[in-house]
Homo-oligomer: A and B are copies of this chain.
Amino acid sequence: MATKPKGRAGTIKEPVITLSAGPVATYPAVQRAFAAPVQYDFDPWFQDFYEQVAKKAAKAMRVRQPALILQVEPAPGIEATAASLISSNDVVLNLASGVYGKGFGYWSARYHKEMVEIEVPFNEAIDPAAVKAAFKKRPDIKVVSLVHHDTPSGTINPAKEIGKIVRDHDALLIVDAVSSFAGMDIHPDDCYADVFITGPGKCLGGAPGLTLMAVNDRAWKHIKKNKKAPFASVLSLTDWKDAWSKEKPFPFTPSVAEINGLDAALDLYLAEGPENVWHRHALTAKATRAGIKAMGLALWAKTEAIASPTCTAVRVPDGVKDSDIIATARAQYGVVFSSGRDQTKGKLIRIGHMGPVAEPIYATVAVTAFGGALRKLGKKVDVGAGVEAALAVIAGGK
C-alpha cells in the first residue's frame, strides 16, 4: 500500500481529511507562519513581536490586558492554573459534566482545602440553579472550576449564567474554553471568568503547544496571596505574568515557532471576523447533527441545545465498536474522527468542526464517511438521507 512522502518519517499514508476533536487541521497560513525564521528570544525584534502577539490574543479574547501565554498545551496550562490559583485555604466547587470537568478535581485535590462537586451525567450540562444552591449551602466556596465545552462529551455548559452566579458570590471562576473559544461566542468577560483558558490548537486552527489565558486582577491577587504558588517552575503563572512586555525577560525560552504560528492564527480569526467564524462552526455542526439524525443515529448530548457547535458527539450504535468505525472511515475514505476519552470512550465518536474544517461541506463529508463506515460494518444506514438532511440545513444557511 501507499507510503510516506520521502523526507518525513512514518510508513502509513497520511489522512485525507481530518475531522478530529483536536489537534485539528491547521490553516495553510498558519503552516506558512510556522516556517518563519526562529528569532532569538532576547532580540528586540522577538520581544516586540511577542508583545504584539500577546496583545492580539487579548484582542481576540476581548480583554484589555495582554494575554498570558504559557509555553505548554492547555492540559498542563490548566494544571498550572490549579497549582497557582488554588491555595490550601480554598474551598473549590468543581463542576463536572464530562471527563475534563471531572479530571480537574484531581488536580485541584493537590492544592485545595476541600472540594465540593456537582456532577451530572456526561451527556448533560451543569444547571446554573445547582451552582446557586451550592453557594447557598457552602458560602465559603472560593474557587469554581468550569469546563465550557467538555470535549470528550461534545457538550456545552451555560458559562455565562454560571459565571454571573459565581461573581455574585465573590468567588473566583476558572473557565476552560479550550475547544470552544474562537468557534462560538465566548470570552472571559461575558462569562465572568477570572482565569480563562484556551489555546491555538482547536477552533483557531493553529497547532497545539501553547496555552492562551486571560487572568484578571482578582485572580492575580489571589495567586499573590497563595504562598505555595509555584515560581521558577513550569507550573507557575506568576513567572509569565509580565513576560508579554518587551521590557521584561522571559522566565524560560518561549516556543518561538509556536508563537509564529499563533500570530497567523489570530490574524486569520480577526481578519475573517469572529462572527463569521462562529457562524460557519455553528452551521457545520447543525448540518452534521441533522445528517447524523437522518441516518437514524443518536446524538450523545441529551438535548441538542447543549450540543457543541465545534464538535458533534455521536452515540456508538449497538453492535459495532467505536474503534472499528474510526478505522473503517480512515481506511475507506481517509477521513479521521475522534473516539471518546475515559468514561466516554467506546460510547461515542466525535466529529470535530474546528478551524479550517468548520465549513459546511465537511458536514456532508462527515455524514458520508460515518454512514459509509457503518454500512461497511454491516449496519443499515441511509447515507443518502443523511446527506440530504445536511444539505437542507446548509441551504437554510443558519
The residues of A with any CB-CB pair to B shorter than 8 Å are: 1-18, 20, 22-29, 31-46, 48-49, 52-53, 56, 71-73, 75-76, 79-80, 106-107, 201, 207-209, 232-235, 252-258, 260-261, 263-264, 267-268, 271-273, 276-277, 280, 330, 332-336, 338-339, 359-362, 364-365, 368-369, 372, 375-376, 382-388, 391, 394-395
Asked if A76 contacts B17 (CB within 8 A), the reply is no
Cα–Cα distance between A11 and B375 once the two chains are bound (Å): 42
Q: A35-B34, A207-B257 are in contact. Are A79 and B234 (CB under 8 A)?
A: yes
Please tell me if the beta carbons of A11 and B255 are within 8 angstroms of each other in the complex. no
Q: Which residues of B sit under 8 angstroms from A71, Cβ to Cβ?
A: 72-73, 76, 209
Tell me whether B40 and A253 are in contact (CB under 8 A). no
- Cβ A365 vs Cβ B361 within 8 A: yes
**Residues on the B chain within 8 Å of A276, using CB:** 1-2
Measured CA separation A365–B391 after assembly (Å): 12
A253 near B73 with CB under 8 A, answer yes
Q: Are A391 and B364 in contact (CB under 8 A)?
A: no
Beyond A5-B7, A25-B38, A38-B207, 14 extra complex contacts between A and B, CB < 8 Å: A8-B260, A10-B45, A10-B52, A12-B45, A24-B40, A34-B34, A73-B255, A209-B255, A255-B258, A334-B359, A361-B365, A364-B365, A383-B391, A384-B385
Q: A45-B10, A209-B257 are in contact. Are A80 and B39 (CB under 8 A)?
A: no
Using Cβ atoms and an 8 Å threshold, which residues of chain B touch A233? 76, 79
Residues in B neighbouring A255, C-beta threshold 8 A:
73, 207-209, 255, 258
Interface contact A272-B2, CB-CB below 8 Å: yes
Judge whether A23 and B332 touch: CB under 8 Å: no
Closest to A49 in B: B10
Q: Which residue of B lies closest to A207 (CB)?
A: B257
29 contacts between A and B (CB under 8 A): A2-B272, A2-B280, A4-B271, A6-B6, A9-B49, A10-B52, A12-B44, A13-B272, A15-B43, A15-B45, A23-B253, A26-B37, A31-B34, A31-B35, A40-B336, A72-B234, A207-B255, A207-B256, A234-B235, A257-B257, A257-B261, A332-B394, A332-B395, A333-B360, A364-B365, A368-B387, A375-B391, A383-B391, A384-B386
7 residue pairs, one from A and one from B, having the closest CB atoms: A7-B7, A384-B384, A76-B234, A209-B255, A9-B52, A75-B252, A10-B49
Residues of B within 8 A of A25 (CB): 37-38
B32 & A35 in contact (Cβ 8 Å cutoff): yes
Given the interface pairs A49-B10, A391-B368, the reply to whether A330 lies near B271 with Cβ below 8 Å is no
CB-based contact B72/A23 at 8 Å: no
Most chain B CB neighbours (cut-off 10 Å) among A3, A9, A360: A9
Chain B residues whose CB sits within 8 angstroms of the CB of A253 once the complex forms: 22-23, 73, 75, 201, 208
A79, A268, A388: which has the most chain B beta carbons within 10 Å? Answer: A388
Task: List, in ascending order, chain B residues with CB within 8 A of A43's CB.
Answer: 15, 18, 20, 330, 336
Contacts of A14 in B (CB 8 A): 37, 39, 45
Chain B residue nearest to A35 (CB atoms) is B35
A44 near B330 with CB under 8 A, answer yes
Contacting pair A5 B267 (CB below 8 A):
yes
| Most B C-beta atoms less than 10 A away, residue of A46, A254, A387 | A387
